[in-house]
Amino acid sequence: MLPEKPGSPLSPAGSADVAGARDALQCLSSGYLGEDGRCQCRIPEQVVAAAWQRQREQHAASEGFFRFMWREGMWLAFGHPDGGVRGVYCPEHAADRDQRASAALAGARVLQPVG
């Protein structure tokens, strides 16, 4: 299933509720690498908060990036020690971010001096 994009004919049932919700978090992707502008994907804040709480309990995490499933997609978010979440990436942009990070790491390994 595709990420939540309000107005799309492929949006899951109930997406209008998420799109207009005041307590929804919007994907952080600004579209700076493309022509599309800011991503319109949104997710209920309580879904993200519950995922962060589970992460903290199961992995003794206090702060950092974490992944969680929602509506058949893997989301990426950043949790803080106070229990809050400050941002999310939808499945599509989380995957793009992962690719850029991997490419940067691979490039850094190539550029490091040997010996």
Return the pLDDT at 9. Answer: 31
pLDDT value of residue 30: 81
Give the per-residue pLDDT at 18.
Answer: 59
SS3 of the chain: the string is: CCCCCCCCCCCCCCHHHHHHCCCEEEECCCCCCCCCCCCCCEEEHHHHHHHHHHHHHHHCCCCEEEEEEECCEEEEEEECCCCCEEEEECHHHHHHHHHHHHHHHHHHHHHCCCC
**Of 10-14, 46-50, 60-64, 94-98, which gets the smallest average pLDDT?**
10-14
What is this structure's pTM? 0.70
- Summarised one tens digit per residue, pLDDT across range 28-62 is 988 666 666 789 999 999 999 999 999 999 988 88
* pLDDT the model gives residue 37: 78
pLDDT at 55: 93
Average pLDDT value for residue range 69-77: 95
- pLDDT, residue 81, reads 92
Please give the average per-residue pLDDT across 82-86, as a whole number: 91
Integer Cα distance of 106 and 8 in angstroms: 36
Res 61: pLDDT = 80
